[in-house]
Amino acid sequence: PYVIVCNHQASLDLMGMVEVIPDRCVPIAKKELMYMGTVGWACWLSGIIFIDRHKREDAINVISQTARTMRRENVR
């Protein structure tokens, strides 16, 4: 398993990054993207994991749970 960290400048950059990251990778995005109409639906349907950056503990829990799942299922 591995993690790719990307610093993007705009919310729509995520859609472009999905095209260049390896298969079986799942991006993590800020929860606000989920409420951006068509972009939000596309992100949700493609399996993006959303985190709430304003609630630090919740974000840490989501990322920790994702890491445990990656290790347990030995996926990237």
Token match 């304003």: residue?
Answer: 54
* pLDDT for res 5: 67
- Give buried/exposed letters for 39-53 (b at 16+ CB in 10 A, else e): ebeebeeeebebbee
Confidence of residue 25 (pLDDT cuts 50, 70, 90): confident
Give the rounded percent of residues in the chain with a pLDDT score beyond 90: 0
pLDDT at position 8 is 65
Task: Check residues 38 and 28 and name the one with the higher pLDDT.
Answer: 38
Q: DSSP letters of 48-59?
A: PEEE-TTSHHHH
